[in-house]
Amino acid sequence: VVFVAGLGGIGMDTSRELLKRNLKNLVVLDRIDNPAAIAELKTINPKVTVSFYLYDVTVSLTETKKLLKTIFDKLKTVDILINGAGILDDHQIERTIAVNFTGLVNTTTAIMDFWDKRKGGSGGVVCNIGSVTGFNAIHQVPVYSATKAAVVSFTQSLAKLAPLTGVTAFTVNPGITVTTLVNKFNSWLDVEPRVAELLIDNPTQTTLACAQNFVKAIELNQNGGIWKLDLGTLAPIQWT
């Protein structure tokens, strides 16, 4: 498993849960080096090799391909790519789009060099982290919500291209989860200065509850699946 942003709020708990499974390798990519977190992950399951690479999803497609070549040269095979990078701040319009959507598209595009069966690849699985805002927008943060809708749409196209590429795909879409992401953030044009406070007034879930259902969705491995991870439950969403 290659996990982009595997040390974040939901990411770290999901990495912990993944390591309880029968993995061979967990490769964590993140823009901030956290040796203590990596050291902790290495202690969970000695049978799994945990490695870390610095990676900012806003780098060029060329740079992403170079990093993935390094990983593939070392591991030979990668089965699952998890795209989990995300920010929530509608003041940072270009960066929100770059991190939440463009970076995800570039990372997925880059791994196709190694997975696409038209190029002799053996296929793989893409798991993209979206958000319930992808199909139920929080209108005070329309830029963030739009990027998550784009993630769902892009992933659905990937899933339909699976017969051609050999690469399957699905999304996991968390509801309001208690992470640093939602502690304080800005609404678009300051349409709601209290947006973070109002959001947290709604029912929430823990990162652990989210992570446990996240891993269940990975194990189900349903091509084209749109999973809603909310209030500690895992439920399919019908997309029309």
* Residues annotated as part of the active site: 144
Are the C-beta atoms of residues 140 and 95 closer than 8 Å to each other? no
Give dist(CA 167, CA 155) in Å, integer: 11
Strand locations in 76-225 (E): 80-83, 124-129, 167-174
Alpha helix (H) residue ranges in 20-97: 35-44, 61-75, 93-97
Strand locations in 44-192 (E): 49-54, 80-83, 124-129, 167-174
For strands 167-174 and 49-54, give the pairing: unpaired
Q: Find the helix or strand (DSSP H, E) in which 148 lies.
A: helix 142-160
